[in-house]
Amino acid sequence: MPDQDSKRRPDWIAVDWGTSRLRVWAMTANGTVLAARQSEDGMSTLSSADYERVLTALVSDFLPVAEGAPMPVVVCGMAGARGGWREAGYRTVPCTLGDVGDLTRVPCRDPRLSVTILPGLRQKDAPDVMRGEETAIAGLISAENLRDGVACLPGTHSKWCRIDRGGIAEFTTVMTGELFAAIAGHTILRLSLSEGAFSETAFREGVDEGLQHPETLTARLFGLRANDLLSWVGPGVAVSRLSGLLVGAELSATRSYWADGAVHLVASDPLAEKYALAFEVAGAEFIRENAEKLTLAGLGAVYRALLEDAA
């Protein structure tokens, strides 16, 4: 998104710091986005000493030019992970997401910055963790006034979350995106996954196979290689089928989440479109949600809570 109002100084800055990407938004107090920027300076490329420098370089023209009140910066994601900017800890599910008592303040060398990092979530029964996605879930709960439901957040590590009485009851992580990258880039299948246009037919067939027969997944994966060697397969077909197989296996593993009601699909294209197709194959009800909008809603709720806490 290009800068919309470069003359107006923001009231605060929202930050989503992922493993591979940094996204920032200059915000007004009422939630209007003045400008949006991003860089490839994700957590995986940085040491803890790098974060302030990288952030300041990206947002320097948003910051006050003279001494005075520092700019509030509210951060979610991997900046709070172990090995990130500063470890922000976890809330333990079941929990609600509105408490500001366990936020982490980061001392900054630049007096123009006032940085707060949000905690992640942890689950002790069926051990699991998430960091970043919980902010979009908080935005969903707030925006929809949601008391009960299920959210799916596809990605490198897909998150499935059950919402109960306005809080997080449980969640499950499925390594679909990372498995796809590993298989496509570091196994014999890489020789058979030619690039080409996405094949909806191959993807749908893969989803159905992965959903109905997850126990045969590893055998079906090698079938992609065999089919390439023994018959002609058009560009993009095998890679679309691989994606479908893995998403179908994910749906099989998470059937208890989506079998009995509509799923809030929190994603951006192209993942949102693929998961929408997969839900159609599975016969699952779903509601598409804007991931960026919900992340900003979640960060905005924390900003407003910090203002109230300081009043």
pLDDT of the residue at 130? 97
- Homologous superfamily (CATH) of 174-290 is 2-keto-3-deoxy-galactonokinase, C-terminal domain (3.30.420.310)
Q: Residues for the chain: how many in total?
A: 311
Q: Which residues of the chain have pLDDT under 70?
A: 1-6, 311
What one-character DSSP code corresponds to residue 266?
E
Contact indicator for 86, 52 with CB cutoff of 8 Å: no
Q: Which CATH architecture has domain 12-131?
A: 2-Layer Sandwich (3.30)
302: tokens are 């924390």
Q: Which amino acid is at 167?
A: G
12-131 with 174-290: one CATH topology? Answer: yes
Q: For strands 71-77 and 12-17, give the pairing.
A: parallel
Q: For residues 254 and 84, what is the distance between their CA atoms, to the nearest angstrom?
A: 30
Where are the domains positioned within the chain?
12-131, 174-290
For 123-143, give the DSSP string: ETTTTEEESSHHHHHHHHHHH
Please, what's the b/e burial string for 219-237 (b: 16 or more CB within 10 A of its CB; e: otherwise)?
ebbeebbeebeeeebeebb
Q: For residues 167 and 189, what is the distance between their CA atoms, to the nearest angstrom?
A: 42
Q: For residues 57 and 66, what is the distance between their CA atoms, to the nearest angstrom?
A: 17
Is the torsion defined by CA of 259, 262, 268, 273 positive or negative? positive
pLDDT of the residue at 155? 93
pTM over 0.85: yes
Angle subtended by helix axes 200-212 and 237-253, to nearest 10: 30
